[in-house]
Amino acid sequence: MNVVLARWCCLARYRPTESQMQRFERDDEGFLAWRAAHPAGFIVNCNPTPSLDYLMLHRASCHFMNELPKDYKHWTHAFIKVCAEEKGVLSVWCHSEVGGAPSSCQHCDPMAPA
Ligand SMILES: [Zn+2]
């Protein structure tokens, strides 16, 4: 196996692919469609430039991912949503993109066994 191919394999294995993970920024419709299609999925809520200051893991079924706060008109403008069926994929993304683990929502307790 040549070096380029070996590198590609590593990236493919350790970087979530688009099919495993989706990022919604200024795309409420896309986010709502994803949430409807993945009721058992997971969502990281974070700033458009993700940082450890605010990186919160929720279940897609969480109250806070289904009821927009009163003062907000959009899901994916002030904060963006990074979504996946597997929370492990989001954990890898958080470590590679932001360099740390997300906080867990106290309300939906996403780290508890399903
Ligand atoms: Zn939650």
Cα 57 to middle of ligand 1, angstroms? 7
In degrees and rounded to multiples of 5, residue 31 shows phi and psi of: -65, -45
Q: How would residue 113 be classed by pLDDT, with cut points 50, 70 and 90? A: confident
The string of pLDDT tens digits covering residues 6-38 is 555 555 455 666 678 999 999 999 999 999 999
The string of pLDDT tens digits covering residues 4-13 is 555 555 554 5
Cα 43 to middle of ligand 1, angstroms? 9
> Which residues face 42 on adjacent strands?
59, 84
Cα 50 to middle of ligand 1, angstroms? 18
| pLDDT (mean) for 86-97 | 94
Could you tell me how far CA 51 lies from the centroid of its own chain? 13
Entry pTM: 0.84
> Which residues face 43 on adjacent strands?
58, 83
